Structures are given as C-alpha cells and as structure tokens.
C-alpha cells in the first residue's frame, strides 16, 4: 500500500503543477466561453469559487471605463451578477 500512496501523491503533485500552469497561462475558461466573451466584447472580471474540486458559485463584474483628459478611471457603477452552481 505504501507504493500506491506514493504513486497517488506523485500524481496529485503533477496535477497541481498542471493546474498552476494553466492558471498562470490564463487557460482557465473553455474555448466556448472565450468565444462568447469576444462576441459580446466583455471587459470585466469573471469569478469562480471552488470547494473540494466543485464549482460553488460563479459571477462577473462588468466595468465601464471612461476617458477623462489624460486619465481614465472605472465608473462608480459596476454591474454584478452571481450564479450559484447547481447541486451546490
């Protein structure tokens, strides 16, 4: 059983390294979602809350930016939308 647990630990470490690599490379959304974001020209934040490998909640904040002279700032109004995951 010692060999199996070492093997499991090795696989878990490899999986976590791959997870970190994908997050750093911004490969966290499916191609379909990325196409939709481009189609609607979305600018903002997409948030996903995960517990024990399951998505608990996801949402987005859509920010609007205005040009003011040489500076730009986020508008005070930020639209938020969150969605609880099914079966959560």
SS3 content of the chain, % helix, strand, coil (to 5): 35, 35, 30
Percent of the chain residues past pLDDT 70, beyond the cut: 67
How confident is the model over 25-64, as pLDDT tens digits?
A: 999 999 999 999 999 989 989 999 999 999 999 999 987 5
**Is the separation of the CB atoms in 62 and 82 below 8 Å?**
no
How far is Cα 76 from Cα 62, in angstroms, rounded to an integer?
Answer: 11
Predicted TM-score (pTM) of this structure:
0.57
| Token digits of residue 24 | 């750093």
């Amino acid at each position: 059983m010692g060999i199996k647990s070492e093997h499991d630990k090795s696989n878990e470490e490899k999986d976590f390294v791959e997870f970190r690599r994908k997050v750093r490379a911004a490969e966290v959304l499916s191609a379909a979602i990325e196409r939709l974001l481009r189609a609607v020209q979305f600018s903002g934040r997409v948030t996903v809350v995960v517990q024990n490998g399951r998505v608990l909640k996801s949402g987005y904040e859509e920010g609007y930016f205005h040009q003011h002279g040489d500076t730009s700032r986020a508008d005070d109004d930020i639209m938020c939308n969150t969605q609880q995951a099914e079966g959560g």
